[in-house]
Amino acid sequence: MGDRQPERYFPRGAVVAETLRLMAVHAHPDDESSKGAASMAKYVAEGVEVLVVSCTGGERGDVLNPRLKENASLLRDMGEYRRHEMAEAARILGVQHRWLGYVDSGLPEGDPLPPLPAGCFALTPTEFTVDALVHVVREFRPHVMTTYDESGGYPHPDHIMTHVVSRAAFDDAADPAKFPRAGEPWKTSKLYYHAGFSRERMRTFHEALLAQGKESPFAEWMKRFEEQDANPDAAKRAELEITTRVECGEFFETRDRALLAHATQIDPDGWFFGVPLELQRELWPTEDYHLAISHVPTRTPEDDLFAGLRDGA
């Protein structure tokens, strides 16, 4: 798996009919390693072709690793560092990778929020961004796409825009009247949204760690959940229904190595790594998804993103 070239593509017409293909569309480099990475590694090991699309280069990311905060060159060349980090993460996961080519919008902070920077992904007209993703869909011809739901998973403008662009490209890639210069139409069979950061999962780990007399990295999460539940007027996002649980515990270590490859973005002592792998495998050995659209017959709950596609894909 480590010998796989992360930016190798199958040209149109070269993929044999029985090869299953998965495309994961993300906002920034590192998102692919924190959302669905273990299931992608599992599918790669099974012979599935997996392509990660990063909509932006993550150029406006902060240095989140305390061990690197004093390295001034990181801030000067953040985009270049993140390209190298993404290449290493793709190598670890065994996936192919494509940059969609747009500029990180940054996460606005303050009251009132400052305007987004000109030319960023979130402000680029969708006629261009959807066109770009439709080109990739029609080239790679995935059977399954994964992305974020309408909330983006959290309110980063690039995550929300990634949903908008992915959802439109899923439909438009199949329509010969849309973007006729983007290649031959391709109808992707299934679209999933990530549902990995569920309350149930966080609470399960939190309670298990406390029961073992250990400190839980999810205490603040539990506090926020309680505050939301105590305030019926608070604006809360309805939690996604988990329709599909992909068992992939044996690939959690691969997931963590890929995530640590994004050294500028990940604190190796942070909450992502606060639950021992064996406890994760025991209590929650799956990565979870919400089936948003299926053009093939399937029944939920599922245990496979390719349910309904294994025969005659």
Token reading at 260? 């640590």
Closest C-alpha to 132, from 248, 53, 21, 41? 53
Residues placed in the known binding site for Zn(2+): 28, 31, 159
Cβ proximity of 146 and 95 under 8 Å:
no
DSSP category for residue 72? H
Contact in structure between 100 and 52 (CB atoms under 8 Å): no
Q: 114: closest CA among 122, 124, 102?
A: 122
Binding-site residues sit at 28, 31, 159
Which tokens sit at 234?
Answer: 């608070």
State in Å, rounded, how far the first CA of the chain is from the last one. 23
For residue 285, say if its preceding peptide bond is cis, omega within 30 degrees of 0. no
Closest residue by Cα to residue 162 from 28, 259, 305: 28
Q: Which amino acid, residue 37?
A: A
What tokens were used for 201? 């999962």
Helix (H, G, I), strand (E, B) or coil at 290: strand
The tokens for 200 are 């149930």
Distance, CA of 170 to chain centre: 16
**Residue ranges in 196-269 assigned as alpha helix (H):** 199-211, 219-230, 252-261
Alpha carbon distance 303, 287 (integer Å)? 10
Cβ–Cβ contacts within 10 Å for residue 206, how many?
Answer: 19
Q: How buried is residue 114: exposed, middle or buried, by Cβ count under 10 Å (0-12/13-18/19+)? A: exposed
